[in-house]
Amino acid sequence: MRRRTFLASASLLAFHNAGSEAKTNAQATASQAPGISGCSQPVRIEFGSAVTAEALSTNILLRQAILRECSILSFERELKWRLLESRPGQWDYARADIIADFCRNNRMKARGHAPLWHAGLPSWIDGTMRREHLWQKIETYFNNVIDRYGDIIESWDVVNEALEQNGNRPGALREGLLPHILGDDYIASAFILAKRLAPAIPLVYNDFGPEYSFTKTRSIIRLLEKLKLKGVPVAKFGLQAHLSTTMKIDQLSLKTLTRELRAMNIDLLITELDVRNRSGLLDDAVLNKVCADKVRELLEPIFSIEAPRQIVTWGLLDGHSWLTSKAYKTNSFPQRPLPLDESGRRKPMWSVLRQFLCN
């Protein structure tokens, strides 16, 4: 039997005790309204949300909303290497298990996010580590994640944000420990390793920026073309889509990206959708409408070429967003970045998403 580590905390106990109640309440609510995934006719686009173990284990409104609205979840941070193995050889699966068990109990799948990310490496990895030693550690990490969670992982962000941030040099990699130790071919090697360990799981390259930068789109396309030419098993591209109320969407860039991905037979996923208030808007109703309009502005050029396979928001309720946390909040403006408000009520953004998903 698979060994498990559980958090001995009141919040976790409350989560397990309230699980059946949350599911019952959510089903009762769902019977009164169709939900984003409950369109009047079958659709092929999945909708879901990222979630943290802490939010999932403490907020019954969030659990009800997830069961009502979502068909898939994304591990927001619980599968990142620095959290799973903060010290060499000491693995802590407790937080990730909370999300995985919720998915299993409710017959949901999850996105595996994100194994190799420059900001997700454990602190014990430094520039003195030998290439062979780091690859050995990466293989152990990949193998442990797949062994424990492979039954629920629907797609896997094998490499995250590997390209130069602004994309000014098409295909150029972001500087950091991974290319420094492993060499510039580490992306291809990581995908090949992931495919060997998990042959049935679609593998994803995940990145940000093409909605605002044609140069970043060119950079992404250049990288994916190189990988495809080498026979690297990249099945999907994840467009993060962290939007801003003050920035205009580059529709030509998104149309080009969608068209080129289709030509390479790579599926497009929207993996981290939310909208940050940088405009100084204070009225909730006005801000909700502006955020919804931004989502429409993003989706229109993509859907004009081909619908994405999946849309995942980076959180579901406004009260559980990284944009409202002290660690990331950069101004005093209110943030209404997600489809549902703090109480789980549907907002204009939800209506926009439902329009695209259902039609």
- Between the CA of residue 305 and those of 45, 98, 257, 308, 355, what are the distances in Å? 15, 38, 10, 10, 17
The pLDDT, as a whole number, for residue 5 is 39
* Residues 118, 193: Cα–Cα separation, whole Å: 18
- How confident is the model at residue 102, as a pLDDT? 98
- Dist CA 301 CA 307 (whole Å): 10
Distance CA 70, CA 31 (A): 15
From first to last of its 359 residues, what are the pLDDT tens digits of the chain?
343 433 333 344 344 444 444 444 444 333 333 456 567 777 789 999 999 999 999 999 999 999 999 999 999 999 999 999 999 999 999 999 999 999 999 999 999 999 999 999 999 999 999 999 999 999 999 999 999 999 999 999 999 999 998 777 877 899 999 999 999 999 999 999 999 999 999 999 999 999 999 999 999 999 999 999 999 999 999 999 999 999 999 999 999 999 999 999 999 999 999 999 988 877 899 999 999 999 999 999 999 999 999 999 999 999 899 988 777 666 678 889 999 999 999 999 999 999 999 88
**Domains of the chain (ranges plus CATH)?**
10-29+38-358 (3.20.20.80)
Q: Given the structure tokens 């703090």, which residue do they identify? A: 342
Tokens of 115: 């194994």
> What pLDDT does 330 receive?
64
Q: How much is the pTM? A: 0.90
> Rg of the chain over CA atoms, in angstroms?
20
CB atoms within 10 A of CB 243: 20
d(CA 172, CA 182): 15
Reported as type and span, the H/E element at residue 265 is none
CA contacts within 13 A on the Cβ side of 343: 1
Residue 294 and residue 245: Cα distance in Å, rounded? 7
pLDDT for residue 37: 58
Q: Which of 266, 183, 181 is nearest to 232 (CA)?
A: 266
The predicted pLDDT at position 281 comes to 77
- Length of the chain equals 359
